[in-house]
Amino acid sequence: MILLAAMAISLVNERYLYLGLPIRIRYTIDCVYRLAGWSPWQTPITRSELVHDLLNTLLFDSTQLLFSSLLIATPAVLWLRLRQPRPSLRDLTRQPGLVACGAALLGYLLYVDLYHYFSTRRLYLRCTVGSAVVVAWLIQALSCRWQAEACWVDRLGRLIGLGWLVTMLGELGLAVF
């Protein structure tokens, strides 16, 4: 029920992205048809500019949709993991799913704090949160405390951690393009 409520909040929060999705899908299909030579070339831009624009659009849209879901799902999974009945806190700190969600939440709070002080520079939220997950997982792996539990909550937490890594790489890819 908690995850269902979290996903409903995420869908309502980013409804403008979902409303424009059919237009973006049609644009993507048209670009692929033009690049493949299946439809006439009617645009005044070059082939490389069209490829650049298509990749930029796909990367931005996919990371934005994933980001909106992760932003709501992270505290929901953290809350689910901390509810009773649960293992001891010592055992919980060894689970990579809980560590990923906790690090992502701390990374978000760190971003909010840094943005307050350095608001003139552009800070990348997805990179801040993704870096926090990477650092937490590295510390956990190097200190031999990585003990994944075979339950759905820990697996979902690990999936959320991987999602933050994907959004971080997407943000870095957008910075390159």
pTM: 0.79
CA distances 20 to 7, 15, 147, Å, are 19, 9, 42
Give pLDDT, residue 43: 66
- Dist CA 98 CA 102 (whole Å): 6
Total count of residues recorded for the chain? 177
Delimit the domains of the chain by residue range. Answer: 2-176
- The contacts found for 121-126 with CB under 8 angstroms, 24 or more apart, are 124/171, 124/175, 126/63, 126/67, 126/164, 126/167, 126/168, 126/170, 126/171
Reading the chain (177 residues) residue by residue, the pLDDT tens digits are 777 787 777 777 777 777 777 888 888 888 888 888 777 767 677 778 888 888 888 888 888 888 888 888 899 998 988 888 888 888 888 999 999 999 999 988 888 777 777 665 556 778 888 899 999 999 999 998 888 888 888 899 999 999 999 998 888 887 776
Give pLDDT, residue 121: 57
Give pLDDT, residue 29: 86
Give pLDDT, residue 139: 94
Cα-Cα-Cα-Cα dihedral sign, residues 62, 64, 69, 73: positive
CB atoms within 10 A of CB 94: 17
